[in-house]
Chains A and B, each alone.
Chain A
Amino acid sequence: MGEWSVRHRYRSLAHRLGLAAMRSFFPLVTLVIVLGTVLWGPWISLLLAIAFWILIDRLEERF
């Protein structure tokens, strides 16, 4: 019973975190692309931003 409760609680927490990440999907991706410039430089960020604009159309068509 106790083990089930713990597992249930983790599953519920994971579900909540997943939902929060999806609701804020766009600003999170923006933060990754903008701050990622520090790691990979501005040209890769530009490529990622353009690829993301193209990809979204496909994502919402499929899911």
Chain B
Amino acid sequence: MGKGVETARRGRVLAHPQDIHCVAFHLLSLAAYASAFWLYLHPEIAGIRGPGSRLAFVASAALMLGWISGINVGVNFHNHTHRKIFRHGWLNRWFGRTWTVSGGWPSYYWWFSHVVVHHSNLLGPTDWTLPRRRADGSFEGIYRYSLLHWPWRYAAHMWRDFTGNRGGKGVGRQAAMELVIFLALWSIPFWIDPWMALGLWVLPAWVANVLIMGPGMYAQHAGCVPKSESRPFSHSNIYLSGFFNLTMFNIGYHVEHHDSPQVHWSDLPRFHEEMKERLIAARAHVVPYGYYHASRLLSPRWSAEAAARARAEFAAVHPDYRPSEEPAEHAADAVLETQEALP
């Protein structure tokens, strides 16, 4: 290896050139929080002249901040839990700690629930990150799951896991230390202004978890079954909306991600193309839209007909992913069989 190449590699901070987008997303998110705080504290600049306009500002900012926090933790930091974006351990740890704090999560806790609990036991009885199942095997409703999971169920499960040392010895001590660091960072907005912290820190965290991450997690595995020889790719759904994957770090390629979590997020579309024939042959559930539309399809409907239509739309396979020898309606039927777990 040439001396110049070696020196350049040694000086590189990022593990992968595309990870610059992860850093930019996170820093812009922090800038958005800082801007909202600054305007809240200088109401005259933002045209806030009373309780009504202050409420309007807080509502608009909380909706948007919560949205980006949901993506920043549930997608962006998520990629970092599988493949660290920096080449230095201390930078990975501390960047990670600032990464999840706006989403109301200690980074270690999110890593634990995702990697130790979810990935290692996908759709199994000990994967408590997913929706609970009803007696008939179907997922509980998307609203119930999203409202109850964060922070209530997460806290109860993690308490049990950390005190029981799930994941190895020393997990409980590490969790306690990370909680202290998280609380120190998370409390900063409260020291500045407690009301601002409630509106522009706690409320966006709720939006991030309940309205963004919860439905996203639900949509990733709705109607899925544990991996088996006969159903190797039915453990997750694949979402192919170009806009969705471009703005969401390719999280839609979820079968590929679960089967090979070490594949870099920017390589997932190419990896997907390599797997395409096998996905079609195994009747993977591939759809042409993204999580937002899927969440709407999976939400309760006013009438039984509307619910059936939404269910059929969700179960329908992307036209390019139907086995060629099979008519479209048969392909949809085959997927519907695996969609028994749909609400």
Contacts and interface: CB of A to CB of B under 8 A. Distances in A.
Interface string B71-82: 110000000000
B56 A46 contact: yes
Contact of B64 (A49, A59, A63): A49
B63 A53 contact: yes
Interface string A25-42: 111111101110110011
Nearest to A53: B63
A4 interface: no
Contacts of B36: 34
A61 B289 contact: yes
Contact of A49 (B31, B60, B247, B249): B60
Given A31-B31, A43-B56, A57 B296 contact: yes
Interface stretch (B85-93, B108-116, B124-132, B236-244): B236-244
A5 interface: no
B140 to A, nearest CB: 23
Nearest to A16: B20
B47 interface: yes
Contacts of A29: 64
A6 interface: no
Interface in B276-300: 289-293, 296
A49 B292 contact: no
| A-side interface size class | 20 to 34
A28 B28 contact: yes
Contacts, number: 116
Interface in A1-51: 19-20, 22-31, 33-35, 37-38, 41-43, 45-46, 48-50
Interface string B243-255: 1101101000000
B60 A46 contact: yes
B29, B31, B71, B247: most-surrounded residue (chain A CB, <10 A): B247
A37 B47 contact: yes
A20 B289 contact: no
A23 B249 contact: yes
A30 B28 CA distance: 9
A27 B28 contact: yes
A23, A30, A57: most-surrounded residue (chain B CB, <10 A): A30
Given A24-B21, A60-B243, A45 B56 contact: yes
B32 A27 contact: yes
Interface string B20-34: 110011001101100
A60 B21 contact: no
B290 A37 contact: no
Contacts of B68: 26-27, 30
Interface of A: 19-20, 22-31, 33-35, 37-38, 41-43, 45-46, 48-50, 52-53, 56-57, 59-63
Rank and list the top 10 A-B pairs by shortest CB-CB distance, nearest first.
Answer: A27-B28, A42-B57, A60-B290, A63-B243, A23-B21, A41-B47, A45-B60, A49-B60, A30-B64, A42-B56
22 contacts: A20-B20, A22-B247, A24-B25, A25-B247, A27-B31, A27-B32, A27-B72, A30-B29, A30-B32, A30-B64, A33-B61, A37-B39, A42-B57, A42-B60, A45-B56, A46-B59, A49-B60, A53-B67, A57-B292, A57-B293, A57-B296, A60-B289
Given A26-B247, A46-B56, 4 more contacts: A34-B61, A49-B59, A56-B292, A63-B242
